[in-house]
Amino acid sequence: MMDMIKSRWILLKRHRLKLIFWLFIPLFVTVGAVYVTSNVSEDFRVPVAVVDEADVEETDRIIKGLEESNYIRIDHFESSEKDDALRVLEQYQYDSVLVFGEDFEDKILSGERRNMVETYYTDRSFAYSTVKELLASLIQESLNSQRITEQIQDLEMELFNETTIESETILETKNQIDMDSNLVSQNFTFKGKETMEQNDSTIDPWLIWAYVSLLTTVFIFEFVTRETRSETKQRFLYLNYSFKAFMITSFLAMLIVMYMIDLVTLLIIKAMFDQSVSIVSLLIYRAIVNIIVFIVAFYSRSKLSLYRNGLGLIGVLLGLHIIMPFLNGISNFHPVIALVENNNNFVMLFVTILVLTVCLGRNRNARS
């Protein structure tokens, strides 16, 4: 056994720099990618044009509320420029256009709830309903403030036949109550699964790591293709160990090395991004990936062929991954999804090991 491992090391020593590079790249790429996307993704905003024909305190407050949301970018237009804004919208340069009419304040005061704001959108306005919701709740706040003062004053008039309480006092009380209480919240779970609260704006580092390490494993395992297709393989006929035994030992040795690096990766990513997967899932993923790539490498005709097949494999997995959530299907059979969702899929592992044994056992008599 030790002989085989030593020979493996001698054979790989030539490529040790490249090996180290490909072994550690997944970690660096993951960290880099998450860093970049989390910084840049906040700057992706929905462009919305606002035409304020009323120009009162209430509209200022509402527009400010829209600006303060972290996914909207407001462009202000003068009331005379309304047609310009609409024209730009027609050219799909805005997601939507909001127009506050001159009579906005009157409508608030009268408590009329219909058609407070004109909104324009297109068939490509992806974020329109979200923006509309935010706008509606901001308008609702204004209406509520107006209504409450009227109500309390009416109540006082009814009970005591006088109005002593000032509007401002009422509003202050309301704001105080607003800040102090938080009456309703929601807790969302899927039946039978644990909730995984995830910040939507940052991408899961393990997703990136899974695919990058798949690619690098393909690159690392090119030695399998190279040696399986070489002519020196014949010499194994005269040696104590069979070629197959040699390859399996190499495989296990690589697996252990990669496990160690993966554990380091786990610690670092957990420390930096506070996102971790269970160790078991990680080990299973690494095992499955290594086995699949080994099989592909074993049967590839050349280095280029290996890369093409590897790329094809990654493409297929990526494609399935994107479609999976919509198909409600076999999310258990996809290694990356299993890793990200912490499914400890031993079944998949056993199946792959089985396939490996079958593949290696097939050529027992023809070659060794």
Partner 1 sequence: MKKMRHILVFIANDLHRFKRKWLSLPLILLAPILFTALLIWILGNVLSVVDEQDINIGLVNMDENETTDMLVNTLADTADFTDGIEMERLDIDEANALIDNNELSAFIVFPENFAENMMEGQTSQLEVTGNPDRKLESYMIRSVVDTLIRHLRNSQSNVLTVNHYAKSFDMSDEQREDLIFQEFVSQFVQVISSDTLVDEEEVSQNFSLGISYFLLNGMFILLTIWLYLLYLMLMKDKNPGLSERMKLLDVGHLAQGISRITALMLIMILPSVLILMTALYLIGNALVIENLMRIGILIFIHLLITVILLLIIDWLSKSYKLTMILQLMMLSLIIVFSGAIIPRIYFPLYFDWIFDVTYSYQTLNWLQEIVLNERFTMEINIMLFSLCTLLVMMLIIGLLKERRVS
Do 220 and 23 form a contact (C-beta atoms < 8 A)?
A: yes
Measured from the CB atom, is 13 or 191 closer to partner 1?
191
Give the shortest CB-363-to-partner 1 separation in angstroms: 24
- Name which of residues 14 to 73 contact partner 1 (CB under 8 A): 40, 43-47
As a whole number of angstroms, the distance between CA 152 and CA 230 comes to: 91
* Residue 208 in contact with partner 1, rule: CB under 8 A: no
As a whole number of angstroms, the distance between CA 205 and CA 198 comes to: 12
In Å, what is the CA distance from 346 to each residue of 107, 255, 293?
A: 64, 17, 18
* Residue 156 in contact with partner 1, rule: CB under 8 A: yes
Give the shortest CB-122-to-partner 1 separation in angstroms: 5
Residue in 2, 10, 17, 183 binding partner 1, rule: CB under 8 A: 183
As a whole number of angstroms, the distance between CA 115 and CA 69 comes to: 23
* Residue 231 in contact with partner 1, rule: CB under 8 A: no
Give the shortest CB-228-to-partner 1 separation in angstroms: 16
Residue in 323, 347, 354, 358 binding partner 1, rule: CB under 8 A: 323
* Residue 135 in contact with partner 1, rule: CB under 8 A: yes
Taking the CA of residue 76 as centre, how many other CA atoms within 13 Å lie in the half-sphere pointing to its CB? 10
Measured from the CB atom, is 244 or 303 closer to partner 1?
303
- Name which of residues 282 to 321 contact partner 1 (CB under 8 A): 302-304, 307-308, 311, 316, 319
The secondary structure of 23-90 as a DSSP string is HHHHHHHHHHHHHHHHHHGGG--EEEEEEESS--HHHHHHHHHHHTSTTEEEEEE-GGGHHHHHHHHH
Give the shortest CB-90-to-partner 1 separation in angstroms: 5
Residue in 161, 164, 186, 240 binding partner 1, rule: CB under 8 A: 186
* Residue 75 in contact with partner 1, rule: CB under 8 A: no
* Residue 194 in contact with partner 1, rule: CB under 8 A: no
Q: What are the φ/ψ torsions at residue 316 (nearest 5 degrees)?
A: -60, -45
* Residue 229 in contact with partner 1, rule: CB under 8 A: no
